[in-house]
């Protein structure tokens, strides 16, 4: 069967000589720079340097005093607040117009913290897996593919940390806000993202989870994202001495999320087998926060598709140079002030983060 040709002879020549070279990581990253010096923009916004995009992975939880919610507006305000508050906490995505996509990083995409500006322990191969699938938690059974090899499941924390270092943060400590934004999206930018959010009155644990499945051949297949959110109902009572007893306790909630992360990993491996797209590694994790009876808990899992700000790229190089750097190398090249450790919301915890 003859291949179809366009009416453009220059394009025909390019297709004949380049093959899939236009989807090399170097071409993707060089083609994922937006038009602005200090602000990132959303993929498919005008002014991009090419056809690429950068994915940033984000996971956040927060809570607020439920008495601040007006009774007649509680549901809609709470839902809006759930999303907007968590956009600001952690890697900064505040004041953006979100457009929801399903969950793949395509062959014209690259992942910040994994492909470029790598987390040092990923770049150095020192990050240890939390478990493997198949493994002690999920042994092979009658549904297992005969050729299935164990897939290591690593903590997602280093990739989440990388996202905070790119976009920066606004840290809340009581009534004081510390503005530590670096290259945030332009306020009002339209940004496609894979996302889910949840909110609930307490007593409850509100949680969000995120995962990256790395395919064996990124020039032919998309890397896989998976997001999930939910609420673990809880009871808060007093014992005989007037002390608060929460059921399940934080350890019980964390055990439930550990199981959730294992099931996400299992689902990703089975997805790869079903589509003959084997995964070589998975990065996964979850966060949770406990909301008391007078609080509202919030959670967000989000993976935006971005164009990099010009100033993200060192002045003496190309965007693709970031493929050879850790995020520490990148920060040093740009002489960025180091970010302090992010404040931990009260009554919160994590798995793999």
The dihedral region occupied by 19, where left means phi > 0, alpha psi between -120 and 50, and beta the remainder, is: left
Strand pairing report for 190-201 and 97-100: parallel
Neighbouring residues of 329: CB distance < 8 A, sequence distance ≥ 6: 117
Q: Is the dihedral of CA 239, 245, 247, 251 positive or negative?
A: negative
Cα-to-chain-centroid distance, residue 277:
21
DSSP E strands, 175-243: 176-181, 190-201, 204-215, 223-233, 235-238
Give yes or no for a cis peptide into 248 (omega within 30° of 0).
yes
235/215 Cα distance (integer angstroms): 42
Q: Which phi and psi (to 5°) does residue 338 adopt?
A: -60, 140
Q: Which of 87, 164, 227, 254 is catalytic?
A: 227
For residues 320, 325, 331, 333, the Cα torsion angle rounded to the nearest 10 degrees is: -70
Residue 164 falls in the annotated catalytic set? no
Q: How much of the chain is in helix, strand and coil states, percent to nearest 5?
A: 25, 35, 40
Q: Catalytic amino acids?
A: 227
């Amino acid at each position: 069967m003859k291949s179809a040709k366009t009416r453009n002879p220059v394009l025909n020549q390019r297709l004949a000589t380049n093959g899939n070279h236009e989807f090399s990581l170097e071409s993707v990253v060089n083609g994922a720079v937006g038009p602005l010096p200090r602000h990132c923009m959303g993929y498919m916004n005008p002014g991009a340097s090419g056809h690429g995009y950068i994915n940033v992975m984000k996971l956040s939880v927060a809570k607020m005093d439920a008495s601040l919610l007006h009774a007649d507006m509680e549901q809609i305000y709470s839902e809006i607040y759930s999303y907007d508050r968590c956009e600001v906490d952690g890697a900064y995505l505040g004041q953006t117009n979100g457009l929801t996509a399903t969950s793949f990083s395509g062959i014209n995409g690259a992942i910040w913290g994994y492909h470029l500006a790598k987390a040092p322990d990923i770049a150095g191969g020192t990050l240890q897996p939390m478990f493997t699938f198949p493994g002690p938690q999920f042994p092979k059974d009658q549904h297992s593919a005969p050729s299935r090899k164990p897939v290591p499941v690593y903590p997602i924390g280093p990739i989440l940390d990388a996202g905070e270092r790119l976009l920066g943060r606004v840290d809340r400590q009581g009534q004081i806000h510390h503005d530590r934004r670096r290259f945030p999206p332009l306020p009002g930018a339209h940004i496609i993202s894979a996302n889910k959010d949840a909110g609930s009155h307490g007593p409850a644990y509100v949680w969000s989870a995120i995962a990256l499945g790395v395919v064996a051949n990124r020039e032919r297949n998309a890397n896989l994202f998976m997001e999930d959110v939910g609420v673990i109902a809880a009871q808060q009572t007093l014992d005989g001495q007037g002390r608060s007893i929460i059921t399940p306790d934080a350890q019980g909630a964390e055990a439930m999320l550990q199981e959730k992360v294992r099931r996400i990993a299992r689902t990703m491996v089975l997805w790869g087998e079903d589509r003959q797209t084997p995964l070589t590694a998975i990065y996964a994790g979850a966060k949770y926060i406990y909301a008391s009876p007078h609080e509202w808990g919030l959670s967000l899992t989000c993976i935006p598709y971005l164009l990099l700000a010009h100033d993200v790229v060192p002045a003496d190089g190309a965007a693709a140079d970031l493929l050879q750097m850790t995020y520490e190398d990148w920060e040093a090249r740009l002489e960025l002030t180091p970010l302090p450790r992010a404040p931990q919301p009260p009554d919160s915890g994590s798995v793999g983060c």
